[in-house]
Amino acid sequence: MFKRHPKGLAVLFFTEVWERFGFYTLAAIYVLYMEKEFHWDDSTKGNVYGAFLLLAYLFPLVGGWLGDKVLGPKRTVRIGAIMMAIGYGLLAASSVDRIPLYLIGLLLVAVGTGIFKVNMAVSVGGLYKQNDPLRDAGFNIYYMGVNIGAALAPLAATVISSVFNSYNISFALAGAGMVLALVIFEFGKKTLPDPKPVTVSDVSPETRASDARQDRQRVAVLFTLFSIVIFFWIAFYQNGLALTLFADRSTVRLDYLRPETYQFFNPFFIIVLTPLLISVFARMRRRGKEPTNPTKIFWGMSIAGFSMLVMVVAALAGGNLDQPIMSPWWLIGSYFVITISEILVSPMGQSFVTKVAPARWQGLMMGFWFLGTSLGSFGSGQG
């Protein structure tokens, strides 16, 4: 899988496997934790859910600035990882009598995730030359690492909930995954690009003048993209709230499928489908017919609507009665459709940002990509 790619891709891949394992263990259970442990109403759960995702995808702006201008990507990744590890520890120690620990833990995980993930994505782009045809495939492989961790997480949470009947142990396991991710990153960081922070003074006045117009055009294109993808993430992040509650309240109960287990299907489908799509696009590229990144993103946005239509039909068929009568295949089908969309939107969008963004603003522009994700994810928790 890593053949022909830079060595640093494997380091970033396995770092992301375990960082995402921690994050998605949390994502699989924290709405359920608020319901079962705190007994909060749906409005409160939705607000906390949306605020957490808002911060997690808003702080990449800060992380991008830190990586570009102050600390460099490697040190910023390290700081984010440490914050997340501490946050998971606080979550593991929380309870109905220690709700502040829960809220502070969520805050640390959200902020740490934000400054971590943007610099990981920039580091992937930094492994490749500007016109390297392997760049898109590299982002797809990296995204597989994201989803291997995301697939393992709900399975681990399911086992822990079944055997120990404890969400706190799952939070502790998420922290262990984050520590492992940090260890992998530290051992492999020599294989990663380490550009010094770029400032405007590093560029000659002549170059600044000649590039200013082109940079404005590039940024305008990117901001158009950032605005559009908000609507994709509104649909996508229903998985952690609306679809999880649908699984808990409306789906037939099976011993091997708990509400948190359903979040396994999205990353599982990504792992299965990504190699197929990489192969298809590679064949199209050899023939000179590979679609551009914006075209792939447009296809993905179009497909996303169908996943919501699946759940609209499910609701009309009895899913809105809050009775455990619906087949699991409604949720699984919805996850399958949104996964196809996600593969075309998320890694291709990140790859496009690293291609188009001006060099001195790579991290900041990637931060704005995640800001679009932030606004969409916050919107998913409203209503």
**CA angle at residue 21 from 337 to 139, to 5 degrees?**
60
- DSSP letter string, 21-37: HHHHHHHHHHHHHIIII
Instruction: Give 368: exposed, middle or buried? Use CB within 10 Å, 0-12, 13-18, 19+.
Output: buried
Dist CA 274 CA 137 (whole Å):
10
Q: Is residue 319 part of a domain?
A: yes
3-state secondary structure of 202: helix
Name the residue with tokens 């396991």. 173
Number of domains in the chain: 1
| Range 165-184 average pLDDT | 94
Residue 209: the pLDDT is 53
| Range 198-210 average pLDDT | 51
Q: Is residue 3 part of a domain?
A: no
Residue 107: the pLDDT is 95
Q: Is residue 153 part of a domain?
A: yes
Query: At residue 169, what is the residue type?
Result: I
Residue 205: the pLDDT is 56
Question: Who wins on pLDDT, 134 or 91?
Answer: 91
Say whether pLDDT at 176 is over 60: yes
Q: Is residue 1 part of a domain?
A: no
Reading the block at residue 97, the tokens are 């009598």
Say whether pLDDT at 33 is over 70: yes
Say whether pLDDT at 345 is over 60: yes
Q: How many CA atoms lie less than 13 Å away from 114 in the CB half-sphere?
A: 30
| Range 281-292 average pLDDT | 87
CATH number at residue 20: 1.20.1250.20
Give the model confidence (pLDDT) of 115-150 as tens digits: 998 899 888 888 888 778 888 888 888 988 988 998
Percent of the chain residues topping a pLDDT of 90: 29
Reading the block at residue 14, the tokens are 């396995």
> For residues 235 and 305, is the Cβ–Cβ distance under 8 A?
yes
Q: Is residue 91 part of a domain?
A: yes
Residue 104: the pLDDT is 96
Cβ neighbours of residue 356 closer than 8 Å, sequence gap 6 or more: 218, 221, 222, 365
Instruction: Give how far Cα 159 sits from Cα of 243, 255, 321, 328, Å.
Output: 20, 11, 29, 19
> For residues 66 and 76, is the Cβ–Cβ distance under 8 A?
yes
Residue 308: the pLDDT is 82
Using only C-alpha atoms, the chain has a radius of gyration, in whole angstroms, of 20
Dist CA 258 CA 68 (whole Å):
43
Dist CA 266 CA 247 (whole Å):
14
Q: Is residue 63 part of a domain?
A: yes
Q: Is residue 96 part of a domain?
A: yes
Backbone φ, ψ for residue 43 (5° rounding): -65, -45
Q: Is residue 18 part of a domain?
A: yes
Say whether pLDDT at 238 is over 60: yes
Containing domain of residue 119, as a range? 8-193+202-380
Angle between helices 293-316 and 328-356 (to 10 degrees): 160
Q: Residue 325, Cα to own-chain centre: how many angstroms?
A: 31
Record the pTM. 0.75
Dist CA 249 CA 265 (whole Å):
19
| Range 213-218 average pLDDT | 82
